[in-house]
Every structure is written in structure tokens, then in C-alpha cells.
């Protein structure tokens, strides 16, 4: 079974690890260090910005020039 994406496998693995393990870890660390509300908000925002950066990197691979099909005009069988 082949992959249906241009995103490299290592980048897909990094994204999944960051989302699954990182999401749990961020809340665990907030609880463990008993961060204030302001620090908690900052930590979650930083986590979100890194997640967006990872997703944009994945999308950049998907929308790279070689993944976009070249324009091919349709052939018309109608003759004047």
C-alpha cells in the first residue's frame, strides 16, 4: 500500500509525536510546576505556534511545484 501524500514519512512521524505526546506533556508540566494562569497561557500559545509551524511545513511539501499537475488543454474531437 503506497502513501498518498508527498510529505516525508519522518515529518509525518514528528507531527504525530508532537501532537500526541506533546499535548499530554504540556498539561502535565503545567500541573507539575503549578504555573500561574499567565504562564499557562503562554506555554499553550507557544505549543500552538510550534504545531502550526509543523503543519505549514507539511503543507509546503504537499503544495510543492512537483505535486501540482501541469495544465493540459482538453482535446476536442469536434472539428469545424
pTM over 0.85: no
pLDDT tens per residue, range 62-76 = 666 555 556 565 666
Domain extents in the chain: 9-65
Torsion over CA: 68, 69, 72, 75 (sign)? negative
Distances (CA, A) of 46 to 3, 41, 42, 54, 80: 31, 9, 6, 12, 63
Residue 38's pLDDT is: 93
Distance CA 68, CA 14 (A): 25
Residue 49's pLDDT is: 93
Q: Are 12 and 5 in contact (CB under 8 A)?
A: yes
Alpha helices in the chain (DSSP H): 9-33, 37-62
Amino acid at each position: 500500500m503506497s502513501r498518498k501524500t508527498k510529505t516525508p514519512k519522518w515529518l509525518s512521524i514528528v507531527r504525530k509525536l508532537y501532537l500526541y505526546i506533546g499535548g499530554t506533556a504540556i498539561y502535565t508540566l503545567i500541573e507539575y510546576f503549578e504555573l500561574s494562569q499567565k504562564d499557562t497561557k503562554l506555554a499553550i500559545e507557544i505549543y500552538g505556534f510550534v504545531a502550526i509551524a509543523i503543519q505549514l511545513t507539511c503543507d509546503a511539501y504537499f503544495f510543492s511545484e512537483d505535486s501540482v499537475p501541469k495544465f493540459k488543454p482538453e482535446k476536442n474531437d469536434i472539428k469545424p
